[in-house]
Amino acid sequence: MPLCVKCNKEVCNPCVRPPFGESNYRTIVVASDAELRRRAYFRRMAMATRALMEELELSRRTFPDWLADVIYLYEGPVVLRGGNAFRVTDSAIDDAFGDDGSFRWLSDFVRFADTPPRQAPQWRVIERLRLIDLAFKIARPDVARHFGR
């Protein structure tokens, strides 16, 4: 059963779907590479991810399921900073996390909630961070707006 994007409860019909023929969704602007590579942005995302995992009792192996539920159920516009559409492919999450089926990287990522990173995130994890950021902007915009403070 999918999770509602608004209230994060398992529901048959998410409570934020607009009536037929209408589009009441807000436009989500995807974070740029420069934003995602800022250490403060990265650390705030780690803190929010850890808090979310504790709140929803998600393990590192079920967190990607939450990502997929939130991102793929969102039907509103998602754009890049320049206004071009941002497309999330069916295999985006698998492609971003590569062959790490245990999602061990996620455990390392949430450790940065306690310990500040010494350097900017590596380029190879930018797509992972972008998907996490996108999911927060969809499901928890009140939390995501603090990433870039």
Helix axes 39-56, 126-139, angle to 10 degrees: 60
Domain contains 18: no
Q: Which domain holds residue 53?
A: 28-144
Q: Are 6 and 16 in contact (CB under 8 A)?
A: yes
pTM over 0.75: yes
Domain contains 35: yes
Residue-wise pLDDT tens for the chain (149 aa)? 555 655 656 655 555 554 444 456 788 999 999 999 999 999 999 999 999 999 999 998 899 999 999 999 998 899 988 888 999 988 898 888 876 667 888 999 999 999 999 999 999 899 999 999 999 999 999 999 999 87
Written as one letter, the residue type at 43 is R
| Interatomic CA distance for residues 39 and 35, integer angstroms | 9
DSSP 13: S
Domain contains 57: yes
| Interatomic CA distance for residues 136 and 122, integer angstroms | 21
Domain contains 12: no
User: Total structural domains in the chain?
Assistant: 1
The structure tokens 């206004």 sit at 83
